[in-house]
Amino acid sequence: EVWNVVFSQFDNDGEGHYTELKQKNIDTGMGLERLACVSQNVASLFDVDTVMNITNKVSEITGAKYEQSDKIDVSLRVITDHIRSATFMICDGVLPSNEGRGYVLRRLLRRAARHGKLLGVDHPFLYEVCDTVVHENEGHYPELRERQAYITKVIRTEEENFAKTLDAGMKIYDDMLSAHKAQGETVFSGADAFKLYDTYGFPIDLTVEMAEEAGMTVDQEGFKALMEEQKVRARKAREALGDLGWAGIEFGKDMPATEFVGYDRSSEQGRVLALVADGELRDELAQGVEGILVLDQTPFYAEMGGQVGDHGTIQGPNGTFQVTDVQKNKGGKFMHSGKVVSGTLSVGETVTASIDVERRKAIMRAHSATHLLDAALKKVLGDHVHQAGSLVEPDRLRFDFTHFEAITPEQLAQIDKLVNDAILEGYPVATEVLPIEEAKKKGAVAMFGEKYGDIVRVVEMGDFSMEFCGGTHLDNTAKAGPFRIKSEGSVASGVRRIEATVGRLSLDTMNRNQELLFHAAQVLKTTPGELAAKAEQQAAEMKELRHELEKFKSEASLGEARQFLTAAKNVGGLKVLTAIRNGMDANALRQMGDFLRDKAPDVVAVLASANGEKITFLAVCGPEAVKRGIKAGDLVKSVCAICGGKGGGKPDSAMGGGSDLLKLDDALATVDDFVAEKLK
């Protein structure tokens, strides 16, 4: 089929009844790729030149020939199709992940990688095909060539990560398959499929495909049941940690959702709709009781979209409630968590809800700066950057985003500068409520994976940033104050995190740093401007002093070594000596030992140093002593054993340790006897 012609004449209600349309029409269309098949006189899309060139590249890498066998053709076509799709998806900003379109990309790459295995390729290879895909399509999609290096890197990284688990996973799969077949089963269990998914990252469709090749089916219903159990366990775990708070509670169908009036008001009257304490609905809360309060309207922002909830007070006619957190449940009720600090509050009372204005301002500074950071990241790193999570606290923000490689210091500096330039520019911050399609036409950025209604709130900051957002913001970017990046790093595969401060928190840090700067300058008797030069000068002087000190200590220890030689005992014609020099490190002992060995060819010496509860031994033997059968390794081993330790080394130099300080003198006293015994 190349060309469709559809005559629309009836409306089918699904019940077998056909009603003739008032306006009949003809719908016609021709598939471009199908026409290419006709023009080139080939049997399928895979045989069209632009696609076949990709297949030829795959054949070149794998050594598999097209039309050699049906099995090989299937693998070549899967790889060709999937690498084409993956290349375009990554170019459009999609990155491999475990959810959404990122999971689709991951499944495509992993299935293609497995078919490479079936063709005998045991190393990452898909990334090598990228150049051919780009070459065949860059005429109409020039952005492919512009982003080729990035696309190649993403695919190679995903291949390498999957390769680490594929071999181990395939072995487990083979064992599972053998076990099923040994029992005469034709269904691969859902439990085994889930284990492959959960432990080794095998998408279910990959397991289904492999099982079908082995003549089996997969219990996909069992797999889905286990997936659901895992989700339930995860939800319960989050509840146990308090992450969901009261998000699941419902206060009755008749209770209206809370109206949020906090975009332009910091204080507002409202009526108490419900009170909760100890997990139960109450008519009244008394002083000292911790609980949850629900109002019909509130200026308090509930934690959403990464922005933390407001703090403040709710003042009733007979008591005061201190708010320390606000969450929104599924029914749209804002649940103010806190404690009654005086008097009582009752259901039905009219109260005045007032937020902590200074705290809200600090949160708004951080939230507006988060939007500026998102825009700056896209400008510096590319349009593939998408928000993957955020946390907005008073004057502090954390922003997770999709990006597949480390950010260079130069890029980080550029991002920091762009955000601060946007703050200094003083862009007005405008908010507008629009139909979602109109907002998209304006160019507003939506967070992938978020669910939006028909009407959305758009926050626009000059021509620098425009995003969907329900949070609270400044009215001008200049009010954000100084923006400072505190850290940047990876938090997951393809996801990076920036933490930053704004406003007073940045100012406090800058002031502390300035105080430290002035203090350091005062200590070094210089000015802040000359501090770096002064510090370098001091460091050079310290290095020279350390060098002179080490030289002095070395000369002093060598002087001691000369004295040791004059006091050495004569044992069978060899100079035998022992000495304790507490506080010396291993290098100093070794230097002294080398001097003794080189100075006196007939020397046998054991030096010891006690540092705390640890003893370090060094034994050296001159060339003449070694010729006569005295080996430093054997000697130090014998001495260390007496002090509860071990040692060893070469015939002319060996080291060891011990821990029994009380036996140190006894150990050294055995050296003469050891030498005399060896000389017999």
Please provide the DSSP assignment of 293-313 as one string.
Answer: EEESEESPPPSBTTBPPP-EE
Looking at the domain assignment, is residue 486 inside a domain? yes
pLDDT at 246 over 80: no
Helices (H), strands (E): how many in the chain?
Answer: 20, 27
| CA separation for the pair 63, 53 (Å, rounded) | 15
What range does the domain containing 8 cover?
A: 3-28
Q: What would the two tokens of residue 284 be?
A: 């009244």
| CA separation for the pair 161, 297 (Å, rounded) | 50
Looking at the domain assignment, is residue 230 inside a domain? no
Mean pLDDT check: name the lowest of 98-102, 171-175, 629-633.
98-102
> Where among 307, 332, 355 does a domain terminate?
355
The answer to whether 524 and 534 have CB atoms below 8 angstroms apart is: yes
Q: What would the two tokens of residue 196 be?
A: 């492959």
* Sequence-distant (≥ 6) Cβ neighbours of residue 571 within 8 angstroms: 604, 672, 675, 676, 679
> Where among 224, 244, 267 does a domain terminate?
224
Average pLDDT over residues 55-67: 91
Q: Do 340 and 432 reside in the same domain of the chain? A: no
The 3-state DSSP class for residue 588 equals: helix
Q: Do 140 and 282 reside in the same domain of the chain? A: no
Average pLDDT over residues 12-27: 89
More confident residue, 445 or 656: 656
Q: Give the CA angle between residues 173, 179, 185 to the nearest 5°.
A: 105
Looking at the domain assignment, is residue 285 inside a domain? yes
Looking at the domain assignment, is residue 430 inside a domain? yes
pLDDT band at 248 (very low <50, low <70, confident <90, very high): very low
Q: Identify the pLDDT of residue 556.
A: 58
| CA separation for the pair 312, 353 (Å, rounded) | 8
Looking at the domain assignment, is residue 311 inside a domain? yes
Count the residues in the chain: 680
CA 227 to chain centre: 24
* Sequence-distant (≥ 6) Cβ neighbours of residue 43 within 8 angstroms: 37
Q: Do 435 and 453 reside in the same domain of the chain? A: yes
* Residues 485-539: tens digit of each pLDDT: 999 998 877 789 999 999 999 999 989 988 888 888 888 888 888 888 888 888 8
Q: Among residues 233, 165, 221, 158, which one has the least CA distance to residue 197?
A: 165
* H or E segment and range at residue 5: strand 3-12
| CA separation for the pair 500, 487 (Å, rounded) | 7
Using H for helix, E for strand and C for coil, what is the string for 519-584?
HHHHHCCCCHHHHHHHHHHHHHHHHHHHHHHHHHHHHHHHHHHHHHHHCCEEECCEEEEEEECCCC
Looking at the domain assignment, is residue 551 inside a domain? no
pLDDT band at 411 (very low <50, low <70, confident <90, very high): very high
Q: Do 85 and 209 reside in the same domain of the chain? A: yes
- Kindly report the CATH number assigned to the domain that includes residue 674: 3.10.310.40
- CA 234, 240, 245, 251 dihedral sign is positive
Looking at the domain assignment, is residue 238 inside a domain? no
Looking at the domain assignment, is residue 100 inside a domain? yes
Q: Identify the pLDDT of residue 236.
A: 63
Percent of the chain surpassing pLDDT 90: 49
What does the DSSP 8-state code read for residue 257? P
Percent of the chain surpassing pLDDT 70: 94
The answer to whether 432 and 441 have CB atoms below 8 angstroms apart is: no
Neighbours of 333 (CB within 10 A): 25
Q: Do 451 and 590 reside in the same domain of the chain? A: no
- Kindly report the CATH number assigned to the domain that includes residue 401: 3.30.980.10
Q: Do 500 and 585 reside in the same domain of the chain? A: no
Complete DSSP assignment for 624-654: HHHHTT--HHHHHHHHHHHTT--EEE-SSEE
pLDDT band at 241 (very low <50, low <70, confident <90, very high): very low
Q: Do 265 and 393 reside in the same domain of the chain? A: no
* Residues 287-336: tens digit of each pLDDT: 988 999 999 999 999 999 899 999 999 999 999 999 999 999 888 899 99
Work out how many domains the chain is built from and give that number.
5
Q: Do 501 and 586 reside in the same domain of the chain? A: no
- Model confidence, pTM: 0.60
Q: Identify the pLDDT of residue 56.
A: 93
Q: Give the CA angle between residues 454, 457, 458 to the nearest 5°.
A: 120
Q: Do 11 and 97 reside in the same domain of the chain? A: no
* Sequence-distant (≥ 6) Cβ neighbours of residue 491 within 8 angstroms: 400, 497
pLDDT at 247 over 60: no
Q: Do 571 and 498 reside in the same domain of the chain? A: no
According to DSSP, the residues that pair with 620 across neighbouring strands are 605, 653
Q: Identify the pLDDT of residue 449.
A: 52
- Kindly report the CATH number assigned to the domain that includes residue 274: 2.40.30.130
Average pLDDT over residues 153-166: 83
pLDDT band at 374 (very low <50, low <70, confident <90, very high): very high
Q: Among residues 361, 384, 470, which one has the least CA distance to residue 154?
A: 384
pLDDT at 266 over 90: yes
> Where among 355, 370, 389 does a domain terminate?
355
Q: Measured between alpha carbons, how far is residue 168 from residues 151, 478, 675 in Å?
A: 27, 55, 58
Q: Do 266 and 375 reside in the same domain of the chain? A: no
| CA separation for the pair 437, 319 (Å, rounded) | 47
Q: Measured between alpha carbons, how far is residue 676 from residues 227, 578, 665 in Å?
A: 77, 15, 18
Q: Do 347 and 364 reside in the same domain of the chain? A: no
Average pLDDT over residues 250-273: 88
Q: Identify the pLDDT of residue 606.
A: 92
